[in-house]
Amino acid sequence: MTSEKAPTKSLGNVLVVGGCGFLGHHIVRQLSETYSCNLSVLDLKTTRNRFPNVSYHDVDITSSEAVTSAFKSLNPQVIIHTASPATVTEGSSSREKGNAGKIFYKVNVEGTRNLLEQATQLGGVKAFVYTSSASIIHDHGSDLINADERWPRLYAPTQKEYYSETKAIAEESVLAANRKDGSDMLTCALRPALLYGEGDMQYFPNLMTAYAKGQTKFQLGENDNLWNFTYAGNAAHAHILAAIALLQTHSLNTEPLDNEKVDGEAFIITDGEPLYFWDFVRTVWRAAGDKTELRQVWTLDRSTGLFIATIIEWLFWFAGGRVPNLSRQKVNYSCMARYFSIDKAKDRLGYKPQTDMKDAIERSVQWFQERQEVGAEKKDQ
């Protein structure tokens, strides 16, 4: 939760698309607890992560009719679009194929374009904030060293992950819609790097499962590769700052200077604390109760890890094509560097992480352990 005081001026009618999802519900929580606004949520299903005094609406964002009806009813002035299909945890596969790829394109690309089109036709939308991904500038093979927004979006064949490619295509559409054809709708995109936190159902569960299985004495690589991570609460705070900045710009009689612009711009968001990859993982495990000491850790170098992973992948392929827990891509992720600069977000959005990483990890682990306890109690009943 942000510690800043609520603004005296209302943000108006705010619509969070995907507001029952992982990041979306963090945004809704902060808006409902800290800011003055008339708050609504669109999601495919709105049965989870609900808050009082928020209106919820089941809507398929790929349906023009459904979105048009919702927009006419809710009359949003601010749209924060976080909706996206769940992706396989980074490092588990290469480019997505088949049905998964079709869903990524349909929701991320076609759904986003539909929202933009209906918002433009409706009129009255002042600010449109899109949740992109820092992964759109990464080929998922090379090291990223202090990368920033000047790095280009990547597409096939350079881009190896189809999910990231669809996010890049969608971001391009969002930024192109800024002031398009005389429209006064302002847009921007935020690029969180590897989200974690309460409600995460992709990255953290893998770490907690490894802890539960007693796998904390193993490590891939020498742990000399820096990474950035982003607590969902900090990412939510950044989205709200972006919406406020767009509203402020909308109220101006002239366009801001290039070095001050928020509209039409993308911003990388992280916790601002690069950590060595395995330091983050072991901080999570220690918060969960792990007592493993570094002298007890068995380290596999990258080449050995890749050799073992190749054998396992072939065995799994012969056994029916399932994805193994250890893959070549996971080995590469564990050994590559991937960290970013957030100077642009600091300078133009006034972004500063509201929760430090240590507290964020402890909150996240506590949430998962409480959830596991509830699940265990239900099984015993």
Residues designated as active site: 167
Closest CA to 20 of 40, 2, 34, 38: 40
Residue 260: both structure tokens together: 């001050």
Q: Which two tokens stand for residue 47?
A: 């049965």
CB atoms within 10 A of CB 276: 16
What's the rounded Cα separation, in Å, for the pair 57 and 22? 17
Q: Which two tokens stand for residue 312?
A: 């396992």
**Range list of β-strands (E), the chain:** 13-17, 38-43, 55-58, 78-81, 127-131, 144-147, 186-192, 195-196, 218-220, 226-227, 230-231, 265-269, 275-276, 298-300, 338-340
Is residue 270 within 8 A of residue 193, CB to CB? The reply is: yes
**What is each CA distance from 224 to 142, 219, 275, 367, in whole angstroms?**
15, 12, 9, 30
From first CA to last CA, the distance across the chain in angstroms is: 35
The full 3-state SS of 339-354, as one line of letters, equals EECCHHHHHHHCCCCC
The answer to whether the bond into 274 is cis (omega within 30° of 0) is no
Instruction: Quote the tokens at residue 50.
Output: 């609900």
User: Using CA atoms, how far apart are residues 191 and 82, in angstroms rounded to an integer?
Assistant: 11
Q: Which residues contact 282 (CB under 8 A, 6 or more apart)?
A: 216, 290, 292
Residue positions counted in the chain = 381
Long-range contacts of 293-296 (CB under 8 A, 24+ apart): 296/217
For residues 9 and 62, what is the distance between their CA atoms, to the nearest angstrom? 33
